[in-house]
Structure 1
Amino acid sequence: MQEHLQHPVFKTISEVSDLEGVKTFVIGGFVRDLFLERPTTDIDILVIGSGIDIAQKVAARLGKLKVSVFKSFGTAMFKYRKMEIEFVGARKESYNRDSRKPIVEDGTLEDDQNRRDFTINAMAISLNRATYGQLVDPFNGTGDLKQQIIRTPLDPSITFSDDPLRMMRAIRFATQLQFKIYDETFKAISVNKERIRIVSMERVADELNKIMLSDRPSIGFKLMDLTGLLDIIFPEMKAMKGVETIKGQSHKDNFYHTLEVLDQITPNTDDLWLRYAALLHDIAKPLTKRFDPTAGWTFYAHNHVGQKMIPKIFARLKLPLNEKMKFVQKLVYLHMRPIALIEDEVSDSAIRRLLFEAGDDIDDLMTLCEADITSKNRERAERHLRNFKIVRRKLKEIEAKDQVRNFQPPVTGEMIMATFGLSPCQEVGVIKTAIKDAILDGIIHNNYDEAYQFMIQKGQEMGLSIKDPS
């Protein structure tokens, strides 16, 4: 393994460790990713002794680097050449039933490896000169990497009961690495699923976000469903699962459709919130599902109801209640608009209105809508995608010609009141809306002169008189 430890920080740690007479190891994710040949910028250093002391001495030798010390956790960290290096003393942990915060004692290398979440994260490589590069792998993590298995080092029921967040971590690693969760480990998640309730939602959401940002997030949601965690963490998603049949007519399974949309959008965006829009675009279908004997299954206004559901979902998951949430709401509300356009001949007026409502988020909306095409009818799916290309082209043409994206009508409410001698009233809003609609419908161009003349005409139609300027 020595050829993989050429980064200068490893040599310096080795020298300082030997001078201080302590054993040190690189452990955890760095070692795992070394075998997987995945890039990593985080290095965890295990010290059989004081991690803080060794961190400070290594940092001083590397050039008086700034060290962040966390005494209550016994850890210290510094950055060096785009790498984040964290030092921790070996420890032994025990848990109380009602908390995932461990009682920590000083421990041995064996103690520390025993407390690790999964075998693939428990491998360590010695940094002391006499054993430099030697792998310590007591749980056959290398074997589990080859077999692509997620497995706990010790009894999984105890592992998950002690720290229930590890259940979400197991699913997250299975999703990111596209590994299988070992049968015994998988069963232990199902048995201990209720224990997830003692974990802060912030920590759960952090794992959920990592699942969302993986190459195939559907893996994680299917595993959460199979283990029963989905019912607890994301009941709105669970409610989407299943197919109902009445009089021989069935609707599609909206849970699996949603996961297909989510997987289809991932190659086209790394934006977490656009991915959340894909996850939540049909979230209100269970609430709006109705069977009409003549029309079949309907989900009337599910986009509108879904938009209203999002603040509650974001608040419970401790996701940001700011412009990120509003972005998701906006896309959920508008996600049916482009598909409606391609069903009919695309008019300039409809394109202007879509541009006006979507504003700067129009490209993200189109990306979502294209991912939403999951029809198994290949001809139909290809026709829809071709039509979306036409919509995208027309969006560019209309925007270049009319500049309606995020536009404000060139005649303001204050101008309307001044022209007709009005105080704030309903008539002002009617005229302002009429000007906006005239521009979007292509009746007038988006400029002051035409908008002003239209205002005069509309006011006179409503029986208003122009105020004498004198």
Structure 2
Amino acid sequence: MNLKEKIDHIAVIKRVGECADELGLEAYIVGGFVRDLFLDRPSKDLDFVCVGSGIELATKVAESFDEHVPLSVFKNFGTAMIKLPDWELEFVGARKESYRQDSRKPLVEDGTLQEDQERRDFTINAMAIRVNQSHYGDLIDPFGGIMDLKKKIIRTPMDPDTTFSDDPLRMMRAVRFATQLGFDIEASTFDGLIRNAERLQIISGERIIDELNKIILSEKPSYGFKLLFVSKLLHQFFPEMIDLQGVDSVGDKSHKDNFYHTLQVLDNVCAFTDDLWLRWAAIMHDIAKPATKRFHAKVGWTFHGHEDKGARMTPKIFRRLKLPMDERMKYVQKLVRLHLRPIALVNDKVTDSAVRRLLYEAGDDVDDLMKLCRADVTSKNPVRVKRFLANFDKVEEKIQEVEEKDHVRNFQPPVSGEEIMEIFDLPPSKIVGELKEEIKEAILEGKIENNKQQALEFMFQLAKYKGISKKD
């Protein structure tokens, strides 16, 4: 590959090189942009290292534009950033790092380019391209990053024990890059993950979950979870998922391995959506099976109520993993709680009221719920899979019919609590809530239609029965 030609059309790289020459500094593009250049992946982040002051170089580059460009300087870290419409530039001086045993925050000193490359996490991220005019486009690849890209492997440039012990977050990054790129982790590097897995405990939950979410958003996240499981990294922060693994048997009765089933469901969901929270619902849908597992001599293994218990476990797990405790958590919780409901609607004898209740409870998330249910079909028997998916087709037809007729998705009772208080001259009280709830139940049961006139008539009948009078 002719690197000079590959970067020649990117004007801002030439600009940085010219500014570096004016300051008498060696300057290089490093890291992800260089890696992605060889992988032909798009990248808008340009990381520059210079032998000298990165802040000085960034300031010079910012001043070289005719118009104002935003420059952010972080003196404590010796870095600076320039944001352009099409590019984000980061500048740092070459440095070497040393670490304390109880922290991933390095002690930083000025260093050479080689020392800067040695401190980087993986060989494929340790390559540099010179941008000075005299050596423009020269590749500096001291650790064989190009060869590792060709071999599709993730490998540390230095001893993996040092690399991972210094900054344990790099272990999560190893799995993330392997998953995103479809690479293997080189054997000695993977052994380093296993030896240092417990060091992950010094990393904040926010940093861990950021890497985990990138794994979940990859094309095939099951690969990343298998690497996390085998390396024992997953054990450090997600014990509930570890508990899913394994098969218990009594006589000739056994259950499926719910860990690998969950990974298959996750991959299946990924074929339908790139939504992070629907993918999290796939991860969480069977999370309570270990806690609800029981054996009965006649029926074998059961997991009764795992959907309800899983929904109750969701907030605690989200809080501990530093996932958002907002509507996104409630969305996942809802799908976990409802994920068994649609299959119960397959029976031809199921009433419209059962469908109305599902529509009412799922609301706008009913389509996502059906995606999760379809993904949950993981039998190795293709005939069985085909039959189950055909059943879900029937359920969706029923849902569509009832929705077109009754319009109950996300419905609010046609008579509000405020109107009930006004009509009967009532203060906020238990009886107001009871009237509103009975109107809702009458609509869901099909006793009355979902309109205000019938709701009011029904309400007046209820009020008369309860001895409640309209105000004069």
Q: CA deviation at 1:416?
A: 4.4
Q: In the alignment, what sits opposite 1:137?
A: 141
Q: Separation in 1 of the partners of 2:110 and 2:417?
A: 71
Q: Separation in 2 of the partners of 1:119 and 1:345?
A: 62
Q: Which moved more, 1:76-85 or 1:147-156?
A: 76-85
Q: Is 1:52 matched with 2:55?
A: yes
Deviations for 1:285-312, whole angstroms, at most 9, x for unmatched residues?
0000011122221111111111111111
Q: Separation in 1 of the partners of 2:416 and 2:188?
A: 68
Q: Separation in 1 of the partners of 2:84 and 2:406?
A: 52
Q: Separation in 1 of the partners of 2:444 and 2:312?
A: 27
Q: Is 1:286 matched with 2:285?
A: no
- The 1:298–1:128 alpha-carbon spacing in structure 2 relative to 1, beyond 3 Å, is same
Q: In the alignment, what sits opposite 2:69?
A: 65
Q: In the alignment, what sits opposite 1:248?
A: 252
Q: In the alignment, what sits opposite 1:392?
A: 396
Q: CA deviation at 1:396?
A: 3.1
Q: Which moved more, 1:379-388 or 1:10-19?
A: 379-388
Deviations for 1:32-61, whole angstroms, at most 9, x for unmatched residues?
011111111111111111111111111221
Q: Is 1:79 matched with 2:83?
A: yes
Q: CA deviation at 1:418?
A: 5.7
Q: Separation in 1 of the partners of 2:184 and 2:178?
A: 6
Q: CA deviation at 1:401?
A: 2.7
Deviations for 1:302-340, whole angstroms, at most 9, x for unmatched residues?
111111111111111111111111111111111111122
- The 1:189–1:456 alpha-carbon spacing in structure 2 relative to 1, beyond 3 Å, is same
Q: Separation in 1 of the partners of 2:357 and 2:89?
A: 52
| Residue pairs, 1:342-381, within 5 angstroms | 342-345=346-349, 347-381=351-385
Letter in 1 for 2:194: S
Work out the number of aligned pairs and report it: 468
Q: Separation in 1 of the partners of 2:387 and 2:348?
A: 13
Percent identity of paired positions between Structure 1 and Structure 2: 58
Q: In the alignment, what sits opposite 1:464?
A: 466
Q: CA deviation at 1:177?
A: 0.8
Q: In the alignment, what sits opposite 1:408?
A: 412
Q: Separation in 1 of the partners of 2:423 and 2:47?
A: 71
Q: Separation in 1 of the partners of 2:123 and 2:347?
A: 53
For the 8 Å contact 1:349–1:442, the answer to whether it is kept is: yes
Q: Separation in 2 of the partners of 1:434 and 1:77?
A: 60
Q: In the alignment, what sits opposite 2:34?
A: 31
Q: Is 1:173 matched with 2:177?
A: yes
Q: Separation in 1 of the partners of 2:417 and 2:453?
A: 16
Q: Separation in 2 of the partners of 1:161 and 1:137?
A: 24
Q: CA deviation at 1:266?
A: 1.1
Q: In the alignment, what sits opposite 1:14?
A: 17
Q: In the alignment, what sits opposite 1:114?
A: 118
Q: CA deviation at 1:114?
A: 0.4
Letter in 2 for 1:282: D
Q: Is 1:443 matched with 2:433?
A: no
Q: CA deviation at 1:393?
A: 3.4
For the 8 Å contact 1:418–1:467, the answer to whether it is kept is: no
Q: Separation in 2 of the partners of 1:356 and 1:48?
A: 63
Q: CA deviation at 1:264?
A: 0.9
Q: CA deviation at 1:28?
A: 0.6
2:98 is matched with which residue: 94, 98, 110? 94
TM-score of the two chains, using structure 1 as the length reference? 0.96
Q: CA deviation at 1:424?
A: 5.5
CA-atom RMSD in angstroms: 1.7
Q: Separation in 2 of the partners of 1:144 and 1:420?
A: 77
Q: Separation in 2 of the partners of 1:377 and 1:360?
A: 32
Deviations for 1:76-127, whole angstroms, at most 9, x for unmatched residues?
1112232111111100011111111111000111000000100000011110
For the 8 Å contact 1:420–1:464, the answer to whether it is kept is: no
Q: Separation in 2 of the partners of 1:150 and 1:469?
A: 76
- The 1:73–1:469 alpha-carbon spacing in structure 2 relative to 1, beyond 3 Å, is closer
Letter in 2 for 1:377: N
| Residue pairs, 1:144-159, within 5 angstroms | 144-159=148-163
Letter in 1 for 2:125: N
SS in 1 for 2:271: helix
Q: CA deviation at 1:152?
A: 0.2
- The 1:453–1:127 alpha-carbon spacing in structure 2 relative to 1, beyond 3 Å, is same
Q: CA deviation at 1:27?
A: 0.6
For the 8 Å contact 2:343–2:391, the answer to whether it is kept is: no
Residue segments in structure 2 that go unaligned for 5+ positions in a row: none
Q: Is 1:265 matched with 2:272?
A: no
Q: CA deviation at 1:19?
A: 1.3
SS in 2 for 1:268: coil
SS in 2 for 1:125: strand
For the 8 Å contact 1:419–1:466, the answer to whether it is kept is: no
SS in 1 for 2:42: coil
Q: Separation in 1 of the partners of 2:307 and 2:384?
A: 23
Deviations for 1:353-396, whole angstroms, at most 9, x for unmatched residues?
11110112112111111111111221221122223233333333
Q: In the alignment, what sits opposite 1:4?
A: 6
Q: CA deviation at 1:230?
A: 1.4
Q: Separation in 2 of the partners of 1:222 and 1:25?
A: 36
Q: Which moved more, 1:405-414 or 1:444-453?
A: 405-414
Letter in 1 for 2:60: K
Q: CA deviation at 1:18?
A: 1.2
For the 8 Å contact 2:424–2:471, the answer to whether it is kept is: no
Q: Which moved more, 1:265-274 or 1:393-402?
A: 393-402
Letter in 1 for 2:33: F
